[in-house]
Homo-oligomer: A and B are copies of this chain.
Amino acid sequence: MSNTDLSIASNAEILPIGEIAERAGIPADALELYGKYKAKIDVQALLPAARLGKVVLVTAISPTPAGEGKSTVTVGIADAFSQLKESVIVALREPSLGPVMGVKGGATGGGFAQVLPMEDINLHFTGDIHAITSANNALAAFIDNHLHQGNALQIDPRRITWKRALDMNDRALRQVTIGLGGPAQGVPRQDGFDITVASEIMAVLCLATSIEDLKERLAQMVIGYTYGKEPVTVRDLGVEGALALLLKEAFKPNLVQTIEGTPAIIHGGPFANIAHGCNSLMATNTARQLADIVVTEAGFGADLGAEKFMHIKSRKGGFHPDAVVIVATVRALKMHGGIAKGLLGEENPEAVRRGMVNLAKHVDTIRQFGIEPVVALNRFLTDSDAEIGEIMEWAAASGVQAALTNVWEQGGAGGLELAKLVKQELDRPTNFAPLYDETDAVEEKLQTIVQKVYGGAAVQLTDQAQKQLAELKKYGWDELPICMAKTQYSLSDQPKLLGRPEGFIVTIREIIPKLGAGFLVCLTGDIMTMPGLPKQPAALKMDVGPDGKAIGLF
């Protein structure tokens, strides 16, 4: 049997979830079991904490399409902290089924730094994303039923912004027409499907702090505009209660374990472009209530996930990261050094050195927030000593803390040095400050992000975006944080500008108010909210044995 993530997971010893809960200090009556190895946490049944745990945020340099192993490192550091006898919980995002069936095959860390039971977590888990799909599409059905039943609210079918959703990679659903077939089959109109993790309801679930807050955020969501161009909200339709009811179990954080038995809370997984790309605030808060150290991650590079963690999630949660880890790989640095995808496996210390500018910019960004980052060099088998030497020398020369990690192969033991560096940072106070205030003008907020985080020259708005901005101001929606939807591959809005581009201008194509989530999505370039399947989907290798065991998740 080859050493795939699934085979490692299958051979791992897994503890009954009750034992993990005990380790985490979760009382038995706060635990709702889902099988033997998963549970939901009834947060209302937890005891109040004497003090809240510190937060380690794991982010990355601008990634390659294969990703840099951020989840793997996140799990590995947590296991390293466990080995160092620290009280620690790792808080991750839930994998989306669509990418699992398409390219990824699994998204629960890797090797000896993964969360268990990996096959359950990668498939339906505890049903959270299905509940979000249900709520999203119930709302869509209520909207179309409203049109069909007389349209008392005078909703303009051409101006409905609420889309349907499926947790599937299905390009054929990006643009559809619905309601065809005559008067008995609804009102014809254009529509489209997003992947569920791009639904505003995912972002709402991840940012709500109570059932009441969840319901209020759902009520505030804008679903479209009337013929008179006035916004229509979920509250106008009167269905926020039904939507909250559909989400009440999904709102509870899920408890699982790492392969080394560290408690892991996996909950929520919004896109890191159209949304903020962090696991739920409920999960992070719950973990902080239970452990001294919470290790969590944010999607894509520090320009996207980390920036949004600081400006959106932290702000809503009333905390900030106490330490930040930036994951880098030799492969990605070579790519930023100008090497083509097919040649990344060949040794090239020169290219690594050239690519270091990307890492340097992300280090600089985190420092601007008042936090001294630690670089985790996530080692791959193909990395040469010379290549690794380049990075370590640069780090030493630039006064950046860095550690080599090998958690895929060694688990927590491969992340001990990193964990020790992070611990030093946790023991030091930060000078955290956000880079902009919510009350800044939208243009100013955008300029701050582009100049300080992306290292660009300026931001410009298309005519459409300017018109939308004027409308936002009219409705008083402009005092919200920005959620940039930008390519993850480049610091700029152009996927092919690798390394550390300078002097670029970022174009905002469209501004979409997400009043439930509580941010303004600013679209740059073409952002895909419904992925497609590749020519050979991962699903072709998937199977289930006569014993009911999964085959082909990796």
Contacts and interface: CB of A to CB of B under 8 A. Distances in A.
Interface of A: 32-36, 40, 44, 97, 101, 120, 123-124, 127, 130-131, 133-134, 137-138, 140-142, 144-145, 147-150, 166-181, 184-187, 210-212, 215, 238-239, 241-242, 244-246, 248-249, 532-533, 535, 537, 539-540, 542-548, 550-552
A185 B171 contact: yes
B124 A550 contact: no
Q: Is the interface of A mostly helix, strand, loop or mixed?
A: mixed
Given A124-B249, A170-B140, A543 B241 contact: yes
Top 4 A-B pairs ranked by shortest CB distance? A241-B543, A172-B186, A130-B130, A242-B539
B149 A245 contact: no
Contacts of A180: 174-177
Contacts of A127: 124, 127, 130
Number of identical protomers: 2
A56 B140 CA distance: 41
A272 to B, nearest CB: 22
A139 B237 CA distance: 33
Given A149-B535, A172-B178, A174-B186, 19 more contacts: A34-B35, A124-B127, A124-B134, A134-B167, A140-B170, A141-B168, A141-B533, A142-B533, A144-B171, A171-B179, A171-B184, A171-B185, A171-B186, A175-B181, A176-B180, A177-B180, A211-B545, A242-B542, A245-B542
Contact of A101 (B171, B242, B552): B242
Contact of A539 (B138, B175, B185, B248): B138
A280 to B, nearest CB: 16
A244 to B, nearest CB: 5
Contacts of A546: 210-212
A248 B185 contact: no
Given A168-B134, A212-B546, A546-B210, A123 B245 contact: yes
30 contacts: A33-B33, A33-B36, A35-B40, A123-B249, A124-B246, A130-B133, A137-B168, A141-B168, A142-B537, A142-B539, A144-B171, A144-B172, A145-B533, A148-B171, A148-B532, A150-B535, A173-B178, A174-B180, A174-B181, A175-B179, A176-B178, A215-B543, A239-B539, A241-B542, A241-B543, A241-B552, A242-B540, A244-B544, A245-B542, A245-B550
A306 B19 CA distance: 48
Contact of A532 (B145, B166, B174): B145
B178 A248 contact: no
Contacts of A137: 166, 168, 170
A297 to B, nearest CB: 25
Contacts of A169: 141
A551 B240 CA distance: 12
A164 to B, nearest CB: 8
A127 B173 CA distance: 24
Nearest to A536: B149
A245 B544 contact: yes
A547 to B, nearest CB: 8
Nearest to A550: B245
B239 A540 contact: yes
Nearest to A150: B535
A544 to B, nearest CB: 5
Contact of A145 (B210, B249, B537, B548): B537
A141 B246 contact: no
Nearest to A147: B172
B130 A144 contact: no
- Kindly name the residue among A130, A175, A177, A245 whose own CB sees the greatest number of chain B CB atoms within 10 A: A245
A209 to B, nearest CB: 12
Contacts of A141: 101, 168-170, 172, 533
A172 B185 contact: yes
- Kindly name the residue among A32, A34, A178, A210 whose own CB sees the greatest number of chain B CB atoms within 10 A: A178
A180 B34 CA distance: 40
Nearest to A210: B546
Given A176-B177, A241-B552, A542-B245, A130 B138 contact: no
Contacts of A138: 101, 168, 539
Contact of A172 (B124, B148, B245): B148
Contacts of A131: 124
- Kindly name the residue among A131, A144, A145, A532 whose own CB sees the greatest number of chain B CB atoms within 10 A: A145
A487 B543 CA distance: 39
Contacts of A215: 543-544
A476 to B, nearest CB: 28
A324 to B, nearest CB: 34
A130 B123 contact: no
Given A142-B539, A542-B242, A543-B245, A548 B172 contact: no
A38 B453 CA distance: 49
Contacts of A170: 137, 140-141, 144-145
Contacts of A172: 141, 144-145, 147-148, 178-179, 185-187
A267 B32 CA distance: 21
